[in-house]
Amino acid sequence: MMTELEYVIKHGGLTPKRLLAKITRREFGTTVLGGLVGVAASHLLSTPAVAMASRLISTPSAVAPDFTIAIIPDPQFLAESCPDKLGGYYAAMMKWIVQNKNIVLESSTPSFEANIKAVIGVGDCVNATAANEDRNAQNAWTILDRNRIAFTTPPGNHDYDSIKPSSRSNLGPLFGTGYFSAKHRSSVYGSGIDLGAGDMAYWIGSHDTTGANTAVKFVISGVKLLILAMDFFAGNAAWSWAYDLMRANSDCECYITTHGWLTVNGTQFQRKDTYGPDAYSMAGAPYSNSAAEAWTTVGVNTWSNLFGIFSGHDIFGSQNSDPSGTASPQWYWQQVPIKSASSRRQTVQQLFTNSQQLDSACSASVSEASGAGQTASVFLLSRRPALGVLEGRMISTQSGNWFKSRSASFPDGTSWSDFETLLFSVPFTGLQTERTPNPIPKS
């Protein structure tokens, strides 16, 4: 009588899923020991089909490892004056990322190593395009380059000369021709940045020679991530370029990082908001688009591979999109899901994070209750493929305290804590629900 294993081998093997459906862990051992003997067993156990079965059954690592993207929330005052004009906290923040790549995060179950693989900025790398601030910013971000941690960042309004994005020609030297320009960043990426453990980062391209609109690809834990860094309230031509790249990289999950998207209140920027395009004398389309215009009129809401949008820019005390004119609360992050209008109907995770007002009061004594002194913060966005979730945490790299509050109305809404706090955990699978097993080497 032919055993199940003999049948599989005789008929050329099955795909991994069908093979596992035919052979359970218990049946595998019983079948091999009970149905195969002597030379036949030796022959059969060396075949690719059996090797595949054994590997799939005994190796739990077929699930992609957890990983984290560090998001830098508007570090402009770290370049200007926090704690002084030398940019010490700016550099220390980047060193914290390097030294804590594998920090163990324990506020969710099971605990895990952060596995920080890349960094994404949301703009305002400087407060003014002055030589010392440009130098401080470049020195800080270069720490990531030296340690093979890939990054990308768009410009904010403060990265424009005299904070005047009313003309794209006012783009400051760091993004125009310097360190953040397409020419320099593409040379850093070269043929790819090895992130370790088989993960890679690649330069994809730019809308022009500046660093205003750029694209990179991260391949982390078997997941392909296309990151589009978009100009401050970008115009139609830039959005068209970005759309074409998204379509050309249909095997990638697409993410946008741009300076102005969500407000402190968690709404998409409108043109007439306190810090919307009109506040900077930016002409309407095709020159510029508010977040709401980009989403609905330009059609970003129809992008089938879009899964996340990151931003900063807004500050508390503004009156954005609030019909009552109520000032926004003292708040530093928002996570707002929105449904795409694409045929996929996927959920797009919108994230706002900005702690510049904490950095601007850099000399204040550290207080967990009020949030004073919680400078040089980093937002940690963790992807956990095995659990199918996306998690958020925020830490001051100077005090070591974690932002504690989960919503602006949460008791002690501005408080921080010595203890790590999980700010959110939402279901998330992206394009991939499982990792393809590594191919079996040929014997």
**How far lies 183's CA from each of 16, 173, 190, 203, 392, in Å?**
45, 13, 11, 11, 33
* pLDDT score of 41 more than 80: no
CB-CB contact of 432 with 40 (8 Å): no
Query: Alpha-carbon torsion 361, 365, 370, 373, what sign?
Result: positive
Paired tokens of 356: 């510049």
Residue 433 reports pLDDT greater than 90: no
Query: What single letter denotes the amino acid at residue 327?
Result: A
pLDDT at 53 over 70: no
CA–CA gap between residue 379 and residue 97 (Å, rounded):
11
Output the pLDDT for position 33: 31
**83-92 CB burial, b ≥16 within 10 A, e <16:** beeebbbbbb
pLDDT of residue 32 exceeding 80: no
Query: Percentage of residues in the chain with pLDDT exceeding 70?
Result: 80
Instruction: Please say if the pLDDT value at position 51 is more than 70.
Output: no
State pLDDT tens for residues 362-399. 999 999 988 899 999 999 999 999 999 999 999 999 99
As a whole number of angstroms, the distance between CA 40 and CA 44 comes to 6
Which residues in 138-167 are b (16+ Cβ under 10 Å) and which e? bbbbebbbeeebbbbbbbbbbbbeebebbe
Question: For 267-276, 303-312, 351-360, 410-419, which range has the lowest pLDDT when averaged over its residues?
Answer: 410-419
CB 396 within 8 A of CB 372: no
- Every domain of the chain and the residues it spans: 4-61, 66-427
* Contact indicator for 346, 340 with CB cutoff of 8 Å: yes
pLDDT of residue 330: 73
The β-bridge relationship of strands 347-353 and 377-384 is: unpaired
Question: From CA 238, how far away is CA 33, in angstroms rounded?
Answer: 64
Q: Please report which confidence band the pLDDT of residue 442 belongs to, taking 50, 70 and 90 as the band edges.
A: very low
- Omega of the bond leading into 286 within 30 degrees of 0 (cis): yes
Q: What is the model's pLDDT at position 111? A: 98
CB-CB contact of 214 with 185 (8 Å): yes
Q: Which residue has the higher pLDDT, 60 or 371?
A: 371
Structure tokens at 114: 């952060």
Which has more pLDDT, 60 or 138? Answer: 138
Dist. CA 197–CA 115, nearest whole Å: 11
pLDDT in tens, 155-169: 999 999 999 999 999
What is the reported pLDDT for 383?
98
Closest CA to 362 of 404, 319, 396, 311: 396
Single out the residue of 265, 262, 269, 264 nearest to residue 293, CA to CA: 269
Q: Quick check: 357 pLDDT over 90?
A: yes
Which DSSP category does 435 fall into? P
Tell me which H or E stretch contains 356: helix 356-360
CATH code for the structural domain at 66-427: 3.60.21
Q: What is the mean pLDDT of the chain?
A: 85
Q: What is the reported pLDDT for 413? A: 62
Q: Is the pLDDT of residue 7 over 60?
A: no
Is residue 34 pLDDT above 50, yes or no? no
Given this model, what pLDDT does residue 229 score? 99
pLDDT at position 91 is 98
Confidence category of residue 321, pLDDT binned at 50, 70, 90 = low
Mean pLDDT of 322-329: 69
pTM: 0.83
73, two tokens: 């929330």
pLDDT of residue 370: 84
Structure-model confidence comparison of residues 435 and 266, the more confident one? 266
Q: Residue 219: how many CA atoms within 13 Å on its side-chain side?
A: 16
In which band, very low, low, confident or very high, does the pLDDT at 353 lie, cut at 50, 70 and 90? very high
Q: Distance (Å, rounded) from C-alpha 100 to C-alpha 118?
A: 13
Single-letter residue type at 280: Y
Answer whether residue 436 shows pLDDT above 90: no
Helix, coil or strand: residue 329: coil
| Mean pLDDT confidence for 312-340 | 82
Q: What is the pLDDT of residues 139-155, one digit of tens each?
A: 999 999 999 999 999 99
Q: What is the phi/psi pair of residue 9, to 5°?
A: -70, -45
The larger pLDDT score, comparing residue 274 to residue 43, is at 274
At 160, give phi and psi (nearest 5°).
Answer: -100, 145
Question: Can you give the pLDDT at residue 411?
Answer: 43
pLDDT at 408: 58
3-state secondary structure of 276: coil
- In 279-434 the beta strands, taken as DSSP E runs, fall at 306-311, 333-339, 347-353, 377-384, 389-396, 402-403, 416-417, 424-427
Q: Classify 186 as helix, strand or coil.
A: helix
The structure tokens listed for 324 are 């009552």
Residues with Cβ within 8 Å of 388's Cβ and at least 6 positions away in sequence, in order, are 427, 428, 429, 433
Q: What is the mean pLDDT of residues 97-125?
A: 98
Would you list the DSSP string of 23-78?
Answer: --HHHHHHHHHHH--HHHHHHHHTSHHHHHHHHHHH-GGGSPPPEEEEEE---HHH
Burial (CB count within 10 angstroms: exposed 0-12, middle 13-18, buried 19+), residue 11: exposed
Give pLDDT, residue 322.
65
Pairing of strands 347-353, 402-403: unpaired
Question: What pLDDT is recorded for position 50?
Answer: 39
Residue 345 has pLDDT above 60, yes or no: yes
pLDDT at 265: 87
pLDDT at 423 over 90: yes
Q: Tokens standing for 327?
A: 């000032």
Range from 56-65, 265-274, 297-306, 418-427 carrying the lowest mean pLDDT: 56-65
